Chains A and B, each alone.
Chain A
Amino acid sequence: MSEIVLEAKDLRVHYHTKRGPVKAVDGVTFDLHEGETVGVVGETGSGKSTLGKAILGLVPPRTKIRGSLLLRGRELTGLSDGEYRRLRGEDLALIFQDPMTRLDPLMTIREHFIETLKSHDSAVSTEGASKRAAEVLRSMGIPESRLDHYPHEFSGGMRQRIMIAMALVLRPKLLVADEPTTSLDVIVEAQILEILRDLRRAYAMSVLLITHNLGIVAEVCDRTAVMYAGKIVELGPVDSVFRRPIHPYTQGLLASTIHLNTKELRSIDGLPPSLLNPPSGCRFHPRCAYAKEICAQQEPPMVEFRPGHFAACHFGGDFV
């Protein structure tokens, strides 16, 4: 088994609000191996983005983080801002949904790279930084002649490639990609996904891909974690989870996804619960067609129903 890069144990992230704590992530346990891509899927309010932010240390002040988050054995919860800043870039990198908001409109692409590289290694020369920038940009399909252009001179897809290039230039161990293609059109999205797939091979990097798009997970991920109301309800190899889902929520989510082979429209009844006051027991029970008494009373544990394929459902055995 390859080395574990990231390990979350009973991670809880509760946002502070006037109406009480919002339990955005509420007891999440999973690990991420070297060179592996894990897709975190869920709908609005499932906690998937909060999970990403917690890993990167980007949650707002007064947010309570409990449980443990180990990056190559090092505890991340409780790190100071300064310690986190050193980790980001060298060990951890991120790409966001909207690259334009992350690039400084007054700086050329070359200046962005020089700043990034120098802030982590003051010994690097300007020429050295430019050279590394040119190399990594070329691997993203952007010619060196465009190094002195400003962000607005690039198209949306190219900006996202630049963001990926900047994330990669320090050769991080873990890349967190939060909806990296959501603002892109389908053909450009496919181009970026090809790049993400190649990265795994070229850089042996681990990727945590956060998305609402099940198609993307199927195309680029090794394993997937399905989140619902702050919890992982199902976790396993993409093939196993997509072809033979166990948790009723995963089943519903897959059935409601409209794709080219969709034969009939399905949806999940009801609405996602409030995270201020989540339902007792299994959080999906008010919307679950198979719910029985025990579902409202006891929280189902994660059970390994097939090798490496876990689900948190009292009646998971019925669906195997």
Chain B
Amino acid sequence: MIEPVLRIEDLHVHFPVKMGLVQFAGRALLHATGSAGREEGEEYVRPRVHAVDGVSFNLNRGEILGLVGESGCGKTTTGRAVLRLLRLTKGRIVFEGTDITGLKEKDLRPLRPRMQIIFQDPHAALNPSMTIGRSIQDPLLVHGRATEKEAREDTLAVMEEVGLAPAEDLFNKYPADLSGGQQQRAVIARAIILKPSLIVADEPVAMLDMSIRARILELLLDLKRKYGLTYLFITHDLATAKFVCDRIAIMYLGRIVETGPAEAIYRDPKHPYTRALIAAIPVPEPGRTREVTLPRGEVPDAITPPRGCRFHPRCPVALPTCGWEGRDFIEFLEREQLVESPGASDPNIGDVGEWKVHGFVARRSVDAGTNERVADAVHSLLQRAPPAFAHAIASVSVQDRDVIVRFRAPDPLVAKEVEGRTVECLLY
């Protein structure tokens, strides 16, 4: 078997949430007294953003893998982590057969020329006080690959190649003198001048106007064919990914939920999130009607991602075993109160704020004597709940002054092969 250019195994990147000492002490105290609504017996740990939370993929030579997802899904963090531009929390990165996970920066440096990145905003990626030519040739000098004179010649050749012509004239221009498209060409020139094998392209056309995007994408494809480049193409735009990528990995909240050949994923998406994402794209064809129901709400925060499948609270086809938990009960109450359902305005349900969440449990303390009535009100309100959610509830019970709604533990979520792709969903 041919060694892939890049092999990523179980990559995790967590960021601690920034807070001051007082805030930290306060949170820890609240936790110790049990009023913060966390699981009992759990030690207080500084909250962490689970930006990337167990991502694995291979990138084969000459391939374009699209990493696609909404903002905050961890696609950019993944792109930076695989180049070791960020500290990993856990996982393994193998680049061209070398495990670079623990390499020191000085040992990494000889490999750097072979792995490059193209950023979204060319204006920010170019030093405004350096001429375009100097910016492009700088990597050659930094890595001691050429003398000034050779570097200049190589730079002029690369500039012509990426369409910065006439190169002689543009060499001494500053970024501000160039259009956005030309700036991005300069960034691409700088990325390829060291003849890399892997390029991470992070939203390379997102900042550009529609009428010039195609030209930059074509340039990337031409360069790939010519030099046998391998791309990790990061984008939020499914349409662009469809056009450019061989394979696509769909990310949601720090995990890849579906991976497969681009063509298959668009023709017949398997994961409910992929389906929603594809269906939500506005298409410039008047009269087309949207037949899908959109997932409700927005992406939850990555500090405490939902249990089980992270998409379950928004999923239109969720099962009772997908990971329903106490907070989903709170959300259910809020939704019912929003539509002013008769059950939700029952005073026995109380304010949403009176319900406390502990993992798989939601509980409300009530006056002794009314607890049975509250439990009954919850039961009748649950008649209106979506079946998957209602069936996920193991019990509504009464314990002293508490009314307790307890959820079943979810089924373990494992990635499965479904018709030539890998899907992380209990439907399969």
B213 near A267: Cβ-Cβ < 8 Å: yes
Q: Which residues of B from 54 to 109 have beta carbons under 8 Å from A? A: 70-71
Q: Inside 8 A of B71's CB, which chain A residues have their CB?
A: 185
**A261 with B213: CB separation less than 8 A:** no
Q: Are A260 and B278 in contact (CB under 8 A)?
A: yes
* B243 CB contacts on chain A under 8 angstroms: 258, 262, 265
Most chain B CB inside 10 Å of its own CB: which residue of A155, A194, A242, A258:
A258
Complex alpha-carbon distance, A156 and B214, angstroms: 29
Q: What residue of chain B has the Cβ atom nearest to residue A254's Cβ?
A: B284
**A217-242 interface (Cβ within 8 A of B):** 217-219, 238-239, 242
Q: Is A101 an interface residue (CB 8 A)?
A: no
Tell me the B224-282 residues at the A interface (CB within 8 Å). Answer: 236-240, 242-243, 266, 276-278, 280-282
**Interface flags, A256-269, vs B, CB<8A=1, else 0:** 11111110011110
- A91 CB–B CB distance under 8 Å: no
Contact of A260 among B239, B337, B352 (CB under 8 A): B239
Find out whether the CB atom of B337 lies under 8 angstroms from the CB atom of A259: no
The distance from the CB of B8 to the nearest CB of chain A, in whole angstroms, is: 24
| Contacting pair B210 A43 (CB below 8 A) | yes
Q: How far is the CB of B261 from chain A (nearest CB, A)?
A: 16
Q: Does the CB pair B280–A259 fall under 8 Å? A: no
* B282: nearest chain-A partner, CB-CB: A215
Q: Is the CB of A218 within 8 A of B286?
A: yes
Complex Cα gap A142–B334 (Å)? 9
Q: A216-B282, A258-B237 are in contact. Are A185 and B299 (CB under 8 A)?
A: yes
B209 close to A44 (CB less than 8 A): yes
- Nearest Cβ on chain B to A162's Cβ, whole angstroms: 14
Are B240 and A258 within 8 A (Cβ)? yes
A contact residues around B353 at 8 Å (CB): 145
Bound form: Cα–Cα A188–B281 in Å: 11
Contacts A138-B338, A218-B283, A218-B288; A187 near B295 (Cβ below 8 A)? yes
Complex CA–CA separation, A216 to B282 (angstroms): 6
Q: Which residue of B lies closest to A185 (CB)?
A: B70
- Decide yes or no whether B290 CB sits under 8 A from chain A: yes
A267→B298 contact, CB < 8 A: no
Q: Out of A142, A156, A212, A214, which one reaches B298, CB within 8 Å? A: A156
- In the assembled complex, B212 has its CB within 8 A of some CB on chain A: yes
Assembly CA distance A230 to B295 (angstroms): 39
A128 is an interface residue with CB less than 8 A from chain B: no
The A interface, classified by DSSP as helix, strand, loop or mixed, is: helix
Does A126 reach chain B (CB closer than 8 Å)? Answer: no
A186 touches B70 (CB 8 A): yes
CB proximity of B360 to chain A, nearest CB, Å: 24
How big is chain A's contact interface, by range? 35 or more
A199 to B410, CA, bound (A): 40
> Which residues in A have their C-beta under 8 angstroms from that of B210?
43, 212, 214, 253, 256-258
Contact B285–A218 (Cβ < 8 Å): yes
Assembly CA distance A252 to B209 (angstroms): 13
Roughly how many angstroms separate A114 CA and B217 CA in the complex, as a whole number?
49
Closest CB in chain A relative to B214 CB, distance in Å: 4
Which residue in B236, B266, B282 is a CB contact (below 8 Å) of A218? Answer: B282
A157: interface (CB < 8 Å): yes
A253 CA / B281 CA spacing, docked (Å) = 18
- Given A257-B284, A260-B238, A260-B266, do A158 and B213 touch, yes or no (CB 8 Å)? no
Q: Are B214 and A187 in contact (CB under 8 A)?
A: no
Q: Are B277 and A186 in contact (CB under 8 A)?
A: yes
Determine if A260 and B281 form an interchain contact, defined as CB atoms under 8 angstroms apart: yes
Q: Are B209 and A212 in contact (CB under 8 A)?
A: yes
- For the complex formed, measure the closest distance between the CB of B207 and the CB atoms of chain A, giving whole angstroms: 10
B376 within 8 A of A: no
Is A190 located at the chain interface by the 8 A CB criterion?
yes
A235 and B337 CA atoms in complex are apart in Å by 45
Q: Which B residues are CB-close (under 8 A) to A138? A: 338
Contact of A259 among B181, B217, B283, B299 (CB under 8 A): B283
Interface centre among B180, B283, B290 (most CB of A within 10 A): B283
Contact of A213 with B by CB under 8 A: yes
Closest Cβ of chain B to A163, distance in Å, is 15
| Closest B residue by C-beta to A261 | B283
List the 9 closest A-B pairs by CB distance, nearest first. Answer: A215-B282, A185-B70, A265-B214, A267-B214, A214-B284, A190-B280, A268-B211, A43-B209, A239-B286
User: Can you list 27 contacts pairing A with B, beta carbon distance less than 8 Å?
Assistant: A143-B337, A186-B277, A190-B290, A214-B210, A214-B284, A215-B282, A219-B288, A242-B286, A252-B211, A256-B210, A256-B213, A257-B284, A258-B210, A258-B217, A258-B237, A258-B243, A259-B239, A259-B281, A260-B239, A261-B283, A265-B217, A267-B213, A267-B214, A267-B215, A267-B218, A268-B212, A271-B181
